[in-house]
Amino acid sequence: MPATMLADGGTNLQLASRTYDVDGIAAVQELYHSNGWTDGLPIVPPTAEAVAACLEWAMMPPDQLIGIEPVRGLAVTAEKLAINAVMAGCLPMHFPVVITAWTAMMREEFLMHGATASTGGCAVLVVMNGPIRRELGAAGTFNALGNSDRATAVIGRALRLCLINLMDVRPGAIDRSTLGHPGKFSFCVAEDEEDSSWLPLAEQRGIPKEASAVTVMAAGAPRQIMNEWTTKPEEILETFAAEMRANLRHYSIHPGNYALIIPKQLREHLQAAGWSKTDVAAFIHERARIHRREWATVGKGAVVRDRGDSVYPAMDSPDQLLVVAAGGPAGGFGAVIPPWLGNKSHAVTLAIGACVDCEPPKG
C-alpha cells in the first residue's frame, strides 16, 4: 500500500515510504527476509514512530537528501537511511553516526560502488572518535574488533543494511564478493582515547579535538599479530610490518590505507618510549615494503616478469596509515587491517554534525 503518512507523537513528520500492515513480529521477519531486505539476521520493525524519532534526533526532514552515489547516481534520503538504521537496532542517538559514516562513504574518493561490488569482498570499517563514543557507550577495549558493545554493533550493521537495501549490494546482485568476511555484518570500532596518550585518529586527520567524527575505510579482514617478548618499539612494530609485507605478497601489492589496531599492552611500550602515531607511521612506512621478486616465493612467480627489483611500499606515504588505539587491556596482540585494493578507495574522515555550509561566526 503506497502511502504518505503522519508519524505519531505529534511530530507531523511526513514519511513517504510504502507501508505494510503485518500481523505479528514473526510475520515482520518473514516479510523482510523474503524480500531480501536483511543480512540474514532478524531486524527491528521499522515503524513510522521509530523512524521519525531518528529523524527528529538528527533534526532532519525525511526528504533531506543525504547524497547521490557518484557512480550509479542513486539518491539517498534521510528517511531511507533511518528505516535501515532502525532495522539494524539503532536508537535515535546512534543515527547521526550512521548519517555521517554514510555521507563519508558517498564521497567520490571512497568509491563506494567499486568497493562494495568487488570480488575482493571488503567491508566498511568505521572508526569512531570524540565525545559521542562515551555518550553512546561505544567501547574500544575488550573485544574491540568483535561484539564489543551495542553502539558499534548496530552502527556497523546499519551501514550494511543501507548498502543492501539502498544500493542493491546483495550477494550475487551488486555484491560480487568471492568470499567477503565477517566484518560485512558490522565493522565498527571506537578508539580508546581515554587510555591513550596518542592523538585520536580523527584529530590526526585534521578534525578539531572537541568534535566527534567517523573515519570509513574499505577494509579487508583483520590479520592478528602477537609479540609479547619485547618492549622495544622497533621490534613490536616489526611484527606489524611483517604482517603487512605478508599481505603485500599474499594478497595485493597496491599501496593504500592500512589500519593498525594497537591494544594497550603493546601501546604502552610504544608510548613509554615516546613514540607518537606519527613515529609509528614513519617506521612502518620504511619497513612495510617488498620487492616484486618476493612474489615468486609464494607461488606468484608468473607475475614477477622482469620487474623483480622493483620495490612496493604498503603505503604511498606515512599518513596513509590509520593508527587506532583499541583493544582489551591484556595481551600482546595487535591487528593489521589491509585495504580492499590499495588506492582505489581512500579512507574518509568526517566530523559528526558539523555544518559545512554554515557561515563562520561574525566578529
- Interacting residues with another protein (CB under 8 A): 15, 17-25, 28, 31-32, 37, 45-48, 51, 71-76, 80, 83-84, 87, 111, 113-115, 117-119, 161, 165-166, 176, 341, 344
Least separation in angstroms between CB 22 and another protein:
5
Closest contact distance (angstroms) between CB of 351 and another protein is: 27
Q: Which is nearer to another protein, 53 or 323 (CB)?
A: 53
Q: Report, in Å, the least distance between residue 70 CB and another protein.
A: 9
Residue among 273, 179, 193, 254 nearest 221 (CA):
179
C-alpha separations of 330 from 75, 141, 199, 234, 326 in Å: 45, 10, 21, 20, 11
Residue with cell string 613509554? 272
Distance CA 90, CA 229 (A): 41
Cα 225 from Cα 230, distance rounded (Å):
14
Largest separation between any pair of C-alpha atoms in the chain: 71
To another protein, the closest distance from the beta carbon of 260 in angstroms equals 24
Name the minimum Å distance from CB 182 to another protein.
22
Closest CB to another protein among residues 179, 356: 179
Question: CA-CA distances (angstroms) from residue 95 to 43, 80, 90, 317, 353?
Answer: 16, 12, 7, 34, 11
- Grid cell, residue 353, equals 554534525
Contact predicate 52/11, CB 8 Å? yes
